[in-house]
A and B are shown apart, each in its own frame.
Chain A
Amino acid sequence: MQQPELIPHLFRTEYRKIIAVLCKRFGFVEIETAEDIASDTFMLAAQTWSLKGIPPNPVAWLYTVAKNKAKNFLHQQATFTNKIVPATSTAENSATIPEYEIDLSPQNINDSQLQMMFAICHPTIAVEAQIGLSLRILCGFGIEEIADAFLTNKETINKRLFRAKEKLREENIPIELPGITEIDERLHSVLATIYLLFSEGYYSISNNKTLRKELCFEAMRLCNMLVENKHTNKPPVNALLSLMCFHASRFEARINEQGELILYDEQDTSLWDADLISKGSYFLNCSATGNQLSKYHLEAAIAYWSTQKDDTHEKWETVLQLYNRLLRIEYSPIAALNRTFALSKANGKQEAIIEAEKLQLTSNHFYYTLLGELYKGIDNVKARLHFEKALSLAKTSTDKATIQKKVDQLTS
């Protein structure tokens, strides 16, 4: 790899590791110092490497520089502390690690990243802030990329991150893995954030396909870290990873060159990623232990059936029952609509129309698209009215185009 690509690449893979280790060492009180040290390290790399060439081991070079900068900081801090405020809380860590040592071993990097994940996804931090912080600190995204992903500007993201970091300090959130009694509950919010991160990429209306894909794969990477750690390798974690693998397997097939959405029925199945589908199945099997049935289990099972293109009654009956159970655990309008579609496939359109009309999701264009689909072939006049209503509610040009096509098919 040449220098121009090397630094952004290393930034993406190494920044988050350095930040996690330094934050863990300094505590959230000094999160900005940790960020500054990590950023300065990369700045120095850019300057030095362009003059002297790339060092033989660029990662080791970065770690050495980051370590030295961190040691200098700790030294200054100690000098300050010893002279002004004796006996402070930083003494806790120094029992195991020599005073100014910075441990950038793979083990400590991994532990620190996991602990950071739990700290950032702490229930007291607003969800939006959790996602921003995750992208910045756990995934090493640039502010501009985060702004792009959220379709907003850098200033908004900076403000959001600033407030989130303040909250981490105020709440004095420890950077550690939760204890055994707490872990399931805390994992719950970590998984929720990971899934949101994934959905942000998967369903985003941003046209930047590369960025969207990266968001998805970052979410999967974080989930994979949880699977690889024995304390966090729990059934719902495997279920979520499985679910994301199944969804991601259709990434190439569901968006065309123009960034437009291709509906499931019209996807080129040769573009489905067989490797990810088999990974999805593997993790789905791993999730089938214990007696906990999470919403991720149900969603993963539904996503598995989506990788089976056959239009059999058995498939739709199974999917219907999975949606019935999913909705009992957690209601969402999209699950309600999908459930009604599965109902039409399993029990027939007449029954599904009656059920659909009870949903009354009258501000949702998918609701009217579904009603249009259900009435198609039964009452085309009503079908048309529903598609037109959907058209008036749809916001993006992709959605409008998709619905327009359905209207056109009715008349032809």
Chain B
Amino acid sequence: MDEYMLIFRHQDGTKIASPEQIQIWMKQTMDWIGGISAQGKFVEGNGLPFDDSKVVWHQGVVTDGPFGEIKETIGGYIVVKAGSIEEAVEFAKGCPVLQGDGNSVEVRKIAKGDGVHK
């Protein structure tokens, strides 16, 4: 069984949601992760808050926020166990982030057991 990272990509990280809306998303996210965990397939995960973020560029240039010129940003990730990329994609389809227009979940296999990475 391989591990896949599901990366939550937000179209516009500068949008501000109401506390009620955040609470609903929170519950949906917890239930979604709970469902993956109930299948014994959850490895780890975390949210990446937009506050207190910087981007470090070539030659030590540092800018505010992850946004800069592009609006799209990463809001969090989870790592799941899956037998195939298709199974990992099925998990990703349930991600509440996808309710936002233009948002996406990137599914990437984690390089483990390839003889190079531990």
Contact = CB atoms under 8 A, between A and B. Distances in A.
Interface of A: 317, 320-321, 323-325, 327-328, 331, 335-336, 339-340, 343, 347, 355, 358-360
Given A331-B37, A359-B38, 18 more contacts: A317-B27, A320-B34, A323-B34, A324-B34, A327-B38, A331-B38, A331-B40, A331-B42, A335-B38, A336-B37, A336-B38, A339-B34, A340-B38, A343-B31, A347-B31, A358-B35, A358-B39, A360-B39
A339 B34 CA distance: 8
The binding surface of chain B is classed by DSSP as: helix
B11 to A, nearest CB: 27
B110 interface: no
A323 B42 CA distance: 14
Contacts of B35: 355, 358
Contacts of B33: 324, 328
A359 B1 CA distance: 17
Contact of B37 (A317, A320, A327): A327
B30 interface: yes
A336 B39 contact: yes
B39 A324 contact: no
Contacts of B38: 327, 331, 335-336, 339-340, 355, 358-359
Interface in B29-85: 30-31, 33-35, 37-40, 42
Interface of B: 27, 30-31, 33-35, 37-40, 42
Contacts of A347: 31
B6 to A, nearest CB: 15
A213 to B, nearest CB: 32
A324 B31 contact: yes
B31 A320 contact: yes
Contacts of B39: 336, 358-360
A132 B81 CA distance: 36
A328 B30 CA distance: 10
Nearest to A331: B40
Nearest to A360: B39
User: Most chain-A Cβ atoms within 10 A of its Cβ — which of B27, B30, B33, B34?
Assistant: B34
Contacts of B31: 320, 324, 343, 347
A328 to B, nearest CB: 5
Contacts of A327: 34, 37-38, 42
A343 B114 CA distance: 38
A328 B42 contact: yes
A93 B3 CA distance: 52
A321 B37 CA distance: 12
6 contacts: A320-B31, A321-B34, A328-B34, A331-B40, A355-B35, A358-B39
Contacts of A360: 39
A301 to B, nearest CB: 15
Contacts of A321: 27, 30, 34
A320 B28 CA distance: 12
